[in-house]
Amino acid sequence: MFEIIESLKAPWPWYVAGAVIGLIVPALLIIGNKTFGLSSNLRHICAACFPANIKFFKYNWKNELWNLFFVAGIMIGAFIATHYLSNSNAIIINENLKSTLINLGVTDFQHLMPSELFSLNSLSSIRGFILMVVGGFLVGFGTRYANGCTSGHAIMGLSNLQWPSLVATICFMLGGFIMTNFILPFILQFN
Amino acid sequence: MPMSNHTQPLNDIKLDETSACINHSEKKESVFSLLKYALIGMLFGIVFVKAEIISWYRIQEMFLLQSFHMYGVIGTAVTVGIISVAIIKKYNIKTIQGEKIIIIPKIFTKGHIYGSLLFGLGWAMTGACPGPIFAQIGAGLMSGFVILASALFGTWTYGFFQEKLPH
């Protein structure tokens, strides 16, 4: 019993995570004919809170309450995992990435996110502001423009063999490669 | 309007593809019945944290080709998803309420290219796609609130300019 709990507290391997995420697709279909897709929730929240008479936000978002329940569950699950299912070991990071980041003044490798870049304090630094505010904006704008995100296109769309989702997934990856390899090294210099 | 989109002209569907069209079930569900989605979400949230999918480092490693982890997660998820959907279609599996399972095909627009590229940039910057943003908040990361607020503003801005953008 002790070993089981200890192994649950260590980081989970990719095949466990991948299998669970993949099974969410049929689970949502079977329990209520719902297709997996998380970025729609950003739209539902806008429609519920700031519709501003915009046509795009005029629909009955209450029909989509199930998805808002789903993200509420994600928050609770993340809370449980963080507080009751984690050990105190520092996160393991690729040595090359680590030394690159140390050169850029990122030295806190205890948690899932580097606190020098992602915290309320770092919001006042140029790089912190760009990463969180501009980055967040691009996530919200881009996913809606693309009509889906990693869950709606890369997981759900590909599961249903939809070629528009394959195009979207390739473009997600391309955007990510461009940012991480060519733009981010420049942004991270602005402490 | 769960089913009404099927009768719309094609142009409207193009711009309106997701307008509340995720919910294909005709049945109204009570709040109690909605809790089952929260339960699946909880499992998902635990996986997000425990497999470190919400970690900025894992996303950087993926785009720097320094780690197999995220490719393994996404590859396994897609494989399991493809097999599951194929089984559902082949055996005509119904929902637990007895409805026929409907998955609306995706309709391609140029937004799939422009929007996806922009999202990719944002994904690499924040280390978070929309799901993990909520998980970051649950994990107690204050930066998650900032990213969520910015993402909501991004979605709102898209809605504001939607008809002027190339699709």
Question: Sorting pLDDT into bands at 50, 70 and 90, what band is A93?
Answer: very high
Nearest to A97 among B60, B126, B154 (CB): B60
A184 CB neighbour count, 10 Å cutoff:
23
The alpha-carbon gap from B4 to the nearest alpha carbon of chain A, in Å, equals 12
Residue B19 has pLDDT above 60, yes or no: no
Output the pLDDT for position B23.
56
Average pLDDT rounded to a whole number, residues B102-131: 96
DSSP-derived 3-state class of residue A34: strand
Residue B1 has pLDDT above 90, yes or no: no
Nearest to A66 among B23, B136, B159 (CB): B23
Residues A160 and A162: their CA atoms lie apart, in Å, by 6
Residues A120 and A128: their CA atoms lie apart, in Å, by 9
Residue B62 has pLDDT above 60, yes or no: yes
Let me know: does B84 contact A22? Beta carbons within 8 Å: yes
Output the pLDDT for position A7.
85
Whole-Å CA distances, B76 to A7, A35, A51, A77, A138: 21, 18, 38, 21, 27
Residue A135 has pLDDT above 50, yes or no: yes
Residues A97 and B57: their CA atoms lie apart, in Å, by 8
SS3 per residue for B34-51: HHHHHHHHHHHHHHHHHC
Residues A80 and A100: their CA atoms lie apart, in Å, by 32
What residues contact A112, with CB distance under 8 A and at least 6 apart? A91, B49, B52, B54, B55, B56, B57, B136, B139, B141
Whole-Å CA distances, A26 to A15, B40, B89: 18, 12, 11
Residues A142 and A175: their CA atoms lie apart, in Å, by 11
- The mean-pLDDT minimum among A18-32, B11-25, B144-158 falls in B11-25
Which structure tokens are listed for A103? 């050169």
Residue B3 has pLDDT above 80, yes or no: no
Reference A11, options B144, B73, B18, B123; nearest CA is B73
Let me know: does B80 contact A18? Beta carbons within 8 Å: yes
Residue B33 has pLDDT above 60, yes or no: yes
Whole-Å CA distances, A76 to A71, A89, B48: 9, 22, 12
Q: How large a percentage of chain B has pLDDT more than 70?
A: 84
Tell me the ipTM for this assembly.
0.96
- The mean-pLDDT minimum among A127-131, A159-163, B31-35, B38-42 falls in B31-35
- Residues of A whose CB is below 8 A from B68: 14
Question: Sorting pLDDT into bands at 50, 70 and 90, what band is A191?
Answer: confident
Output the pLDDT for position A87.
85
B119, closest residue in chain A (CA to CA) = A142
- Residues of B whose CB is below 8 A from A28: 37, 40
Which structure tokens are listed for B127? 């280390």
Residues A70 and B61: their CA atoms lie apart, in Å, by 28
The alpha-carbon gap from B10 to the nearest alpha carbon of chain A, in Å, equals 16
Q: What is the mean pLDDT of chain B?
A: 88
The alpha-carbon gap from B67 to the nearest alpha carbon of chain A, in Å, equals 7
Residues B167 and B164: their CA atoms lie apart, in Å, by 9
Output the pLDDT for position A61.
94
Residue A29 has pLDDT above 90, yes or no: yes
Residue B129: which region, alpha, beta or left (left: phi > 0; alpha: psi -120 to 50)? beta
Nearest to A18 among B80, B104, B147 (CB): B80
Average pLDDT rounded to a whole number, residues A77-92: 92
For the entire predicted model, the pTM comes to 0.92
DSSP-assigned letter for residue B105: P
Residue A4 has pLDDT above 70, yes or no: yes
